[in-house]
Structure formats: structure tokens, C-alpha cells
Amino acid sequence: MNYHLILTRQCNLNCVYCHGGEEDGNTEIQYSIDNLSDFLKKDRTNISLLFYGGEPTLRVPLIIDLIDRFPKATFMLQTNGLLVSQLPEDYIKRFHSILVSIDGTEETTDRYRSKGVYQRVIKNVRWLREIGYEGDLVARMAVSEQSDIYRDVRHLVDLGNPSFDHVHWQLNVVCDAEGNWNDFDGWVEKSYNPGITMLVEDWVSGLEEGRVQGIAPFLPVMHTILTGERTELRCGSGLDTFAIHVDGSIGVCPISPDWEFSIVGDIRTTRPEQLRGIMRVEDPCPTCDIEWVCGGRCLFANRERLWGDEGLRKVCKTVRHLIESLQNIVPRVQELIENEVISLDQLSYPVNNGCEVIP
């Protein structure tokens, strides 16, 4: 099973879509590592620990302690990248994946995250490469109204130094009131959906040259379309992926500690096997004709409906467009696989490292 460990709720940034973590109340972990160990010992599966915050690199000694304490686990780090070089190199190399928040070009990133952030992140990602980090280095974008998905994804895919293995993005939708958008419908129609169409065309053109660009949403979705293997909610929330909040409570998703529905246990009283499959997406997903490819997008959005039913449908239109754009290139991709230009395996993204896949 996969556990997001919220190492602190504090953050050293104040991004427009998140507002800098929490400063009040209990921001630090209130359980002991022994409590955590007792809980994890009962989990008979392969364990992934995804360090998350706030900003997890504000707690370097805790990260070191956890890696030492659970040597058989697979580790992932989700970070804003500003302090990553404070981690010892040999511990950095223990991470299977490092997901670094960066929103696209310098202008886009700094607009959302504060001036100068882009250059600092790029410098640190270069450093990760220089020290020989060989795990999966993922650019993780938050996409909002100032984003141009084509320009911003292309920028990160095409960066030569440093290079990311994968680029993933999540739409800043339904996590918040709709007030942070001026014209979501217009942006989707004029900017986002046309940008996805162009990205898909670029991607398949790259495949035709034998280059598999690591655009995280395209790879596993195409794999599912080609194999017909039905997917479940791709982030795994409520299925095999949970968040351990600072108070030791267990939630279905790392972003929702304050939402009562999302708390499903406590490391001091719950056994891991009680968690598996405890919550699933509800209507409209189970009756949606593309659920087998989409998986339900986001459990939090599905349950909370902060934009209402109509808002959820608007977001689903972006999912449908992305899936249909990929379905349109299936004959070309199949031909490439038959001619051994690429292999089906190259299109899979088998590990849940915190990329939710469906934006």
C-alpha cells in the first residue's frame, strides 16, 4: 500500500492556489515513529512512503530518520524543490521518485509561486542530476487560468538542462471555490482543450521518430486504451493509497485533512487491511462511459463537489477531450508498435508515485 506521510503542514512558499500551508494549530507530527512502525508492521504488502507536506524538506532530520527506520520501503518525495539540496546525497538517491513543483515557464511559475522561484527550482533540479540522481524526476505542474498548457508543458518537456523524466499536471479545479477562475469555460474552450490537442499531436509525432516523451497523463491512458484493461481511480485514494496526517489520523487523500468524510482511520487503532478499498468514487463515475479509462479522476472532487454537479461536469469535459484526443491517434500508435518503432511497455507508468495521471 502507499502512504502519503504529511511531515509538516508548514510551507516555505505562499502559492496562489494553496496559500502557504498552515501556521496555526498543530502543524507537526503528533505521533511517535514507534506508533507509525507498529502500524506499518501490520501491512503485509510492499510499502511506499510518499513524503508530503506542507513542504516535507522543512523536516530533513525526520526524513532521514524515516528512511533509516523503514529500509525496505519505497520512498517518494513531493517537494517545491527549494530546499532539496539540504538532504544528504545518499538519502536523495534512496528516492524512487522526486516530484518537483514547477508550473511551466519562468513567467508562469513565478506568477503562481513568487518571483525567483523558477530559477531556484531549476538550479536545484540541475544539482539533483549533477549528483547522479537516477530515479524518476517528475515536473509536477499546477495548472490554472494563467497557464497555457501547450506552452508550459512543452517548455518542461523540452528543457535540456535539467531534464525531467516525466511531466505531470493537475488542474486547479474543485479543490477550492470557483472564485479563483474568471472564465473557466472560456479557458477550456480557447486554451486548454486546443493545447491538449496540439500536445497529443506532438507526442505521437515524437513516437513516430521513436521518442517517447514522458508526458505522464498520456502514457498510462494510452496504455489502457490499447490494452482495454479497465483502470480504477488512478491516484489510488481510498483504494490502496492513503494519507497519514500529522495527528496520526488516516485520510483517503493528502489534500483533505479538514474534511470529515476523508478521515477513515488512525494509525494507533486501525489495521492496514481495514483500509483497502474503503472508499470509491460515486455518481456520476460508475455509469460514465469512459470510467474504464478515466477511473474517476479525483475522489476528493467526486465527494465534495465544491463546484456543484455542473462544475464537476465541466471538469469532466476536459477529461473526455484528453481521452478522445488520445483515442484519435490509436491507429498510428498501433502501427508503431506493430513495426517495433516503440513497444507497449514504453507506454506504461506502472508505479503510483503521486502522479494522479488524470489532470
Per-residue mark of binding to ligand SF4, 300-319 (x: CB under 6 A): x---------------x--x
Q: Hey, what's the cell of 159?
A: 528543457
Q: How far is the CB of 47 from ligand SF4 (least distance, A)?
A: 18
The backbone torsions φ and ψ at residue 266, rounded to the nearest 5 degrees and listed phi first, read -150, 140
Stretch that binds ligand SF4, among 43-51, 56-64, 132-140, 289-297 (CB under 6 A): 289-297
Nearer to ligand SF4, 140 or 297 (CB): 297
Q: How many angstroms from the chain centroid is the CA of residue 42?
A: 27
Per-residue mark of binding to ligand SF4, 219-248 (x: CB under 6 A): ----------------x-x-----------
3-state secondary structure of 169: strand
Angle, alpha carbons 52-75-245 (nearest 5°): 30
- CA–CA distance, 120 with 47 (Å, rounded to integer): 32
Largest Cα–Cα distance of the chain, in whole Å? 59
Q: How far is the CB of 52 from ligand SF4 (least distance, A)?
A: 10
Q: How many angstroms from the chain centroid is the CA of residue 341?
A: 29
Residues 257-286 binding ligand SF4 (CB under 6 A) are 284-285
Angle, alpha carbons 343-347-353 (nearest 5°): 140
Nearer to ligand SF4, 48 or 237 (CB): 237
| Among 54, 296, 333, 347, interactor with ligand SF4 by CB under 6 A | 296
- Is beta strand 74-79 parallel, antiparallel or unpaired with respect to 263-266? unpaired
Q: How far is the CB of 319 from ligand SF4 (least distance, A)?
A: 4
Does 294 help bind ligand SF4 (rule: CB under 6 A)? yes
What does the binding site for ligand SF4 look like in residue numbers (CB under 6 A)? 235, 237, 253, 255, 284-285, 288, 290-291, 294, 296-300, 316, 319-320, 356
